Amino acid sequence: MRSFNLEAQQIITNKANNKQDFTFCLKNKNKRFIVGTKNIYKGVNPSLKFSLISDISNVLKNCNFDSIGGWQDKNTGIYYLDANTHFDVLEEAILAGKENKEVAIYDIKENKVINL
């Protein structure tokens, strides 16, 4: 388990530092909607956050999330890195997104962003 976490935290950190849009699955679930439920980073340059790899490691140890994902808002230039929970029901996903003050959720099946 330890080697998986080291590999996963480095992969996630590298993608975040490069401001890539990605989802790194932590659990083998096939749910349709991805909702950010814990923010790890929000800003314009993740590589300047020296505790980023440690923050990612803490989320991986927690094991309460389905994935970790990052995306950049093209309108503002803000990069978001979140620990996510996945949902099957759109209404539940929207509600969770609004409760967590998310800008958007992601539909895996349609491969599209749903703005809230």
Residue ranges per domain, the chain? 2-115
Q: What is the pTM of this model?
A: 0.86
Residue 16 has pLDDT above 70, yes or no: yes
Contacts of 79 (CB under 8 A, 6+ apart): 16, 19, 41, 42, 43, 44, 45, 46, 70, 71, 72, 73
Contacts of 7 (CB under 8 A, 6+ apart): none
The tens digit of pLDDT for each residue in 37-60 reads 999 999 999 999 999 999 999 999
**Confidence at 6, pLDDT banded by 50, 70, 90:** low
